[in-house]
Amino acid sequence: PKEIFLKDYKLPDYYFDTVDLSFSLGEEKTIVSAKISVTPRVDGAASPLVLDGVDLKLISVKINGSELKEGDFHLDAKHLILTSPPSGNFILETVTEILPQKNTSLEGLYKSSGNFCTQCEAEGFRKITFYQDRPDIMAKYTCRIEADKSLYPVLLSNGNLIEQGDLEGGKHFALWEDPFKKPCYLFALVAGPLESRDDTFTTCSGRKVALRIWTPPEDLPKTEHAMYSLKAAMKWDEDVFGREYDLDIFNIVSVPDFNMGAMENKSLNIFNSKLVLASPETATDADYAAILGVIGHEYFHNWTGNRVTCRDWFQLSLKEGLTVFRDQEFSSDWGSRTVKRIGDVSKLRTYQFSQDAGPMAHPVRPHSYIKMDNFYTVTVYEKGAEVVRMYKTLLGSQGFRKGTDLYFQRHDGQAVTCEDFFASMRDANDADFANFLSWYSQAGTPIVKVASSYNAEAHTFSLKFTQTVPPTPGQPVKEPMFIPVATGLLDSNGKDMPLSSIYHDGKLESVACGGQPVYTTVLRVTKDEEEFVFADVAEKPIPSLLRGYSAPIRLHSDLTDNDLFFLLANDSDEFNRWEAGQILARKLMLSQVVNFQKDSALVLDPQFVHGIKCIILDSSLDKEFIAKAITLPGEGEIMDMMEVADPDAVHAVRKFIRKQLASELKQELLNLVKENKSSEKYVFDHANMARRALKNTALGYLASLEDEEITELVLQEYKTATNMTDQFSALAAIAQKPGKARDDVLADFYNKWQHDYLVVNKWFALQSSSDIPGNVENVYKLLSHQAFDLKNPNKVYSLIGGFCASPVNFHAKDGSGYKFLGELVVQLDKLNPQVASRMVSAFSRWKRYDETRQNLAKAQLEMIVSANGLSENVYEIASKSLA
């Protein structure tokens, strides 16, 4: 397979100005005609025109109306090359035949569940027609669709519907015109028996936009929340970023077979149905929150991605990092900012830090790829969002907004790079960003150590930072990074101390801001070693470092346990209160892992129990914050901190601490359950979600006890639940322990919900991710369950992905978990390489485990790499994992 490098980027030799597509959708095959007006970049330079094309049958090719003969073009498995096109502008016309019904890869044009549907990002358009399939080719499109009217009554594409009508033979057609230039990855077509929920949104300049959410008729009642989310997103983008929607129609289509979450095609967003459909009875609070975030995300792409797009795929984070940042902010403004931040940081730590420390580590802007699909990663998305957040931390809200305004003003209608975004931020604020750009080019999570000291005579407080960035594949040596560390100082009463000035680099810099007291300042750490000395510090403070998690780093401070308990109880920065609790929990868990490995008794520090109890009893705290603060770090996070990851030890320790906490705080937890009972009617707002989160977290703790009364209580919760959040939490609580109660309630749940595939997916995931011993056997059985289908990505993610998320069973020492995944990856790869390569990633950190596990995992990776007809997608991940 060929590796593509950022350093090899070249401007295209030809631009495309207009593209007229015509689709004749059939039951056997589909005919695609394309008429493209072509302009050479350099006038008179008649270099060959190389068009991408995969799995296409070429019927004809014409230039300026004349059919090309053999010798005028060259065809291989991936290209159509026009050897000597005319030297000026010309019209290129092709006709191709494709087979959407046989396309199980779910990229390009495919038919699934009765609908034709497209997915073109990143490089799927080349499976539809011959084209320069790269994002810097931006053209205006029309799209004519012709199909059987009774089978496909709805025909959709990008832009405005300008004509439609009936044709002979029971067929009909629709003609769509998109007035905006776009790269081909934003092209979309949908055809099928769909119905819509309709609404309108009036933009800030008074234009009325028609909003339509399309689903199969039976799913329409479940689109109310999606419509609410869309309207909230449109308003928020106007209020916060000054971005108005630009067409008179916005369509969303829900499809059950989709590789990722959703796709931001211009004015025709296509969504995985699990991120559109919700009702209180079938969707959890987490589902509702995800829908709000993803509807927002795809809508926000209209400006960050569509109006301003990427020059090449290496710049993916330009649109994805920025758009994730925007959706995070949207959700923060909707609910609790702290709780949202805690969730986002946990995700970053669990998945991105792990990627950054493994064989697939890559910078936010990768240097190379074999298959671009493999680079839709937590690094590009989540770390990319952290990079955008750092601009805001450095510039403040107003400075950041000035930067985005300039970015849109400079680059509307263009395909640009991460430097262009950087330059807009810098120029709009006349800012000095020092070595900030290395966040785009260096992989690895920086490790920052901080040593503090107080000088009682001089009333100064010093913070000494040292940073290192670990080596990653292809980058053995790193430069220091520019790390913004938001810092505050607490006095002995737990109050923020006003900050006056700081000695740094031999200068005294004032922190004060226009006579207003300042309690948090952003230290700009740019070197390997750097000291900041706070002046006028009246007493020895406790520092609150990296407030709000101001940079995506691992911070090691010299704070003592007492300092951390103090911060947990007092910090005005709620994120850092949570963080202090997590640091304490991580230390505790790691110390008990050592005990477990030495066969010593496990013990729970009473001070930790007390800290958790104080949080539970603090009625001034947000309930969802309490739920987060009493939740222990995940097993993956702890394993990442060990020399050799030991899934059995970490699992046993986490289980022990949970059970011990439940036993010592039983009464407090029971009170939480009692006091936070759900109201009859499901309301999706922060207060109600927070109540449910706290009650269900408490219930989960309690259910870890061997206690009949508690089992009764949880069963009662299950039976009386009036919404899926409560019902599923109770089910999960009961399912922790093998036995009759578990079996009965799992069977009951399936019987109740077998008609709803989204709920059945939850049922699959709950069972496959279970830690009950030997669970691989159950998962094998579920593979042949009537509701499972290897062709549907959601089912694969639930059953196979769920299994890989269970450390004890996936990493079972007999290798049964690895064997299971190895076999499935090979099978799945033949159907859907994108999904197979997501699954094979579960092997990527195999070198972190003991020798026995390493050998077993390596054998599976070797088996996969040598499989016949392996896709480039799986090859790239598996071979890089082995390297």
| Residue 98 interacting entry, from Zn ion, ligand HT7, none, C-beta within 5 to 8 Å by type | none
- In whole angstroms, the minimum distance from the beta carbon of 264 to ligand HT7 comes to 5
Applying CB under 6 A, does 264 fall inside the site for ligand HT7? yes
> By C-beta, is 309 or 393 nearer to ligand HT7?
309
Applying CB under 6 A, does 364 fall inside the site for ligand HT7? no
Six token digits for residue 118:
């497209």
Residue of 31, 260, 721, 863 that binds ligand HT7 (CB under 6 A): 260
Task: Build a one-symbol-per-residue string for 311-350: x at contacts with ligand HT7 by CB under 6 A, - elsewhere.
Answer: ---------x------------------------------
Q: Which of 93, 146, 298, 579 is catalytic?
A: 298
Residue-wise DSSP of 138-174 = -EEEEEEEEEETTT--EEEESSEEEEEEE-GGGEEEE
- In whole angstroms, the minimum distance from the beta carbon of 301 to ligand HT7 comes to 6
Residue-wise DSSP of 578-605 = HHHHHHHHHHHHHHHHHHHHTTPPP---
Q: Are 815 and 856 in contact (CB under 8 A)?
A: yes
Q: Which residue lies nearest ligand HT7, judged by its C-beta?
A: 260
> By C-beta, is 274 or 577 nearer to ligand HT7?
274
Long-range contacts of 812-818 (CB under 8 A, 24+ apart): 812/774, 812/776, 813/648, 813/852, 813/853, 815/853, 815/856, 815/857, 815/859, 816/776, 817/776, 818/843, 818/853, 818/856, 818/857, 818/859, 818/860
Pick the piece of the chain touching ligand HT7 (CB under 6 A) from 254-262, 485-493, 562-570, 574-582: 254-262
φ/ψ (deg, to 5) at 712 = -60, -45
Applying CB under 6 A, does 121 fall inside the site for ligand HT7? yes
- 302: phi > 0 → left, psi -120 to 50 → alpha, else beta; which? alpha
Q: Are 391 and 329 in contact (CB under 8 A)?
A: no
Q: For residues 743 and 737, what is the distance between their CA atoms, to the nearest angstrom?
A: 10
Q: For residues 355 and 751, what is the distance between their CA atoms, to the nearest angstrom?
A: 39
Tell me how many residues contact ligand HT7 (CB under 6 A).
15
Residue of 173, 313, 376, 846 that binds ligand HT7 (CB under 6 A): 376
Beta strands in 796-870 (DSSP E): none
Q: Are 584 and 561 in contact (CB under 8 A)?
A: yes
Residue of 133, 237, 298, 382 that binds ligand HT7 (CB under 6 A): 298
Binding stretches for Zn ion (CB under 5 A):
320, 323
> By C-beta, is 323 or 697 nearer to Zn ion?
323
* 298 catalytically annotated: yes
- In whole angstroms, the minimum distance from the beta carbon of 186 to ligand HT7 comes to 9
- In whole angstroms, the minimum distance from the beta carbon of 588 to ligand HT7 comes to 37
Binding to ligand HT7 (CB under 6 A): which residues in 509-548?
A: none
Q: For residues 91 and 85, what is the distance between their CA atoms, to the nearest angstrom?
A: 10
Q: Buried (b) or exposed (e) across 802-816, using 16+ Cβ within 10 A?
A: bbbbbbbbbbbeebb
Binding to ligand HT7 (CB under 6 A): which residues in 615-634?
A: none
> By C-beta, is 257 or 320 nearer to Zn ion?
320
Applying CB under 6 A, does 382 fall inside the site for ligand HT7? no
Residue 729: its H or E element: helix 724-734
- In whole angstroms, the minimum distance from the beta carbon of 805 to Zn ion comes to 23
| Residue 867 interacting entry, from ligand HT7, Zn ion, none, C-beta within 5 to 8 Å by type | none
> By C-beta, is 297 or 311 nearer to ligand HT7?
297
- In whole angstroms, the minimum distance from the beta carbon of 376 to ligand HT7 comes to 5
Residues 6+ apart with CB under 8 A from 359: 473, 844, 845, 847, 880, 881, 883
| Residue 804 interacting entry, from ligand HT7, Zn ion, none, C-beta within 5 to 8 Å by type | none
Q: For residues 691 and 230, what is the distance between their CA atoms, to the nearest angstrom?
A: 25
- In whole angstroms, the minimum distance from the beta carbon of 260 to ligand HT7 comes to 3
> By C-beta, is 616 or 874 nearer to ligand HT7?
874
- In whole angstroms, the minimum distance from the beta carbon of 372 to ligand HT7 comes to 8
Residues 6+ apart with CB under 8 A from 864: 822, 825, 826, 840, 870, 874, 878
Count of alpha carbons within 13 angstroms of residue 151, beta-carbon side: 15
Q: Are 590 and 638 in contact (CB under 8 A)?
A: yes
Pick the piece of the chain touching ligand HT7 (CB under 6 A) from 31-39, 96-104, 165-173, 259-267: 259-267
Tell me 368's DSSP state. Answer: E
Applying CB under 6 A, does 574 fall inside the site for ligand HT7? no
Six token digits for residue 590:
């790691």
Applying CB under 6 A, does 112 fall inside the site for ligand HT7? no
Which residues carry out catalysis? 298
Binding site for ligand HT7 (CB under 6 A): 119, 121-122, 259-260, 262-264, 297-298, 301, 320, 373, 376, 834
